[in-house]
Structure 1
Amino acid sequence: MSSIAGHAAAGITAYLCCNRWACAPSHWAVVPFAFLAVCPDLDYLAVWLLGYAASPRVTHSLLFALAASLLVHRLTRRPTSARLPIAWLLAAGLSHPLMDLLVGAHPVPLLWPIGAEVAVPVGLLPSAGALQPGNYYLWRNLVIELGVLLPPLALLVALARPGTPRRLTWWVLCTAPFWAAFLAVSLALAR
């Protein structure tokens, strides 16, 4: 699985891309986007509190992402302002199972209930590891994951906002070597 920081960053990215078009009514709107990106892992509450682990984890399916996005879209509707755009809410909701798929450690039930679980042979992102503050691998993998994720997420935000192509090109050329290095380290961990 990917880290909560990586999932939240994907939700915030969807908000920032949407907010460029002034669709989001205010800064409070970042909350539903981040929630949608993180909420599939709320099924861990059942594990921690009740000792129940669902299999398959249907919260990691496309159907759940669609249903959660539609629910948030409906709940955030206010008569005095524009609704949050469903396409960007759906992007935030879909980011979670897709990022977990990119870890490659476990199959993800993307097509539940009509299909089998989906897996990729090599993970592009490192696994979050055991959630213990003293776990060295948790922190190492978090840094690697953010090094792989943040440049493409920042690029998406930059593409959604007005700016000069020259400045964007310069930024991409400067960050690409660092991103490639983090990606190479992440791929080396997958071996």
Structure 2
Amino acid sequence: MSSIMGHAAAGITVFLSCARWRDSRSRRALVPCVILAICADFDYFVVWAFGYAAKPRVTHSMVFALAVAVVARVAMRRVTATWISITGLLTASLSHPVLDLLVGAHTVPLFWPLGAETSISIGVLPSAGALDPANYYLWKNLLIELGVLLPVFALVIALARHTAGRDMATRAMLIAPLWLAFVAWSISLPR
């Protein structure tokens, strides 16, 4: 599983890529984007409270992502009159199972109820590790995960904002070696 920081960063990335900058109503969409990006793990509350763990975790499916994106869109329209496209909300919601899939350590029921759980053989992201502040691997893996994700997220935001090509190319060439080092470090970790 990816970390809560990685999921939240994905939600922030979607917000920064989709929000209408001059419309003050769209600024209120940051919180829903972040919540949608992390809400697939809200099923842990059921595990912690009742000891019940669903298998498969349908909260990591495209059906769930679509359902919560539609609910969020309707709620945002009725409650806050906030503007963000359904595509943006769906992207924020789908970012969660995709990031978990990129860890490569666990299967994800992405196509539930239509198909079997999905996995990839090479994890591009490290696993989040046990949630214990004294856990060395939690902090090491968080550093690696953010080293892999943040440059990609910055590129997505730059493309969405139509950043000048020359500026973006220069920055990308400067950051690419460091990003590749984080990717190599992540891939080299045992799964």
Whether the TM-score (by the shorter chain) exceeds 0.5 is yes
Residue 120 of structure 2 is matched in structure 1 by: 120
For the Cα contact (< 8 Å) 2:7–2:96, is it kept in 1?
A: yes
- Contact persistence 1:23–1:82 (CA under 8 A): no
Relative distance call for 1:114 and 1:182 in structure 2 (3 A) is: same
* Cα-to-partner distance string for 1:38-58 (whole Å, 9 max, x where unaligned): 000000001111111111000
Shift of 1:78: 4.4
Give the aligned partner of residue 150 of structure 1. 150
RMSD: 1.7
- What is the one-letter code of the residue matched to 1:111? F
Match of 1:94 in 2: 94
Q: Displaced runs of 4+ in structure 1, greater than 6 A? A: none
TM-score between the two structures when normalised by the length of structure 2: 0.95
Measure the CA separation in 1 of the matches of 2:184 and 2:173.
Answer: 17
Normalised by the size of structure 1, how large is the TM-score? 0.95
| Matched residue, 1:61 | 61
- Match of 2:98, SS state, is helix
Partner of 1:3: 3
Check 1:176–1:49 CA distance in 2 against 1; reply closer, same or farther (3 A cut).
Answer: same
Where does structure 1 lack aligned partners over 5 or more consecutive residues? Answer: none
CA distance in 2, matches of 1:172, 1:165: 10
Tell me, yes or no, if structure 1 residue 83 matches structure 2 residue 61: no
Question: 1:187 deviation in Å?
Answer: 0.5
Distance in 2 separating the partners of 1:82 and 1:53: 35
Per the alignment, in what secondary structure is the counterpart of residue 76 of structure 1? helix
Percent identity (aligned): 57
The aligned runs of 1:108-187 (5 Å cut-off) are 108-187=108-187
CA shift at 1:190, angstroms? Answer: 3.9
- Distance between the aligned counterparts of 1:17 and 1:85, measured in 2? 11
- Measure, in 1, the Cα distance between the counterparts of 2:24 and 2:189: 39
Q: Match of 2:138, SS?
A: helix
Q: In 2, are the aligned partners of 1:13 and 1:157 still within 8 Å (CA)?
A: yes
Instruction: Determine helix, strand or coil for the equivalent of 1:127.
Output: coil
CA distance in structure 2 between the aligned counterparts of 1:121 and 1:162, rounded to whole angstroms: 34
Aligned pair count reads 191
Deviation, 1:84, is: 2.0
What is residue 38 of structure 1 aligned with on the other side? 38
Give the partner amino acid of 1:66: L
Q: Counterpart of 1:2 in structure 2: which amino acid? A: S
Rounded to whole Å, the distance in 1 between the matches of 2:78 and 2:45 is: 30
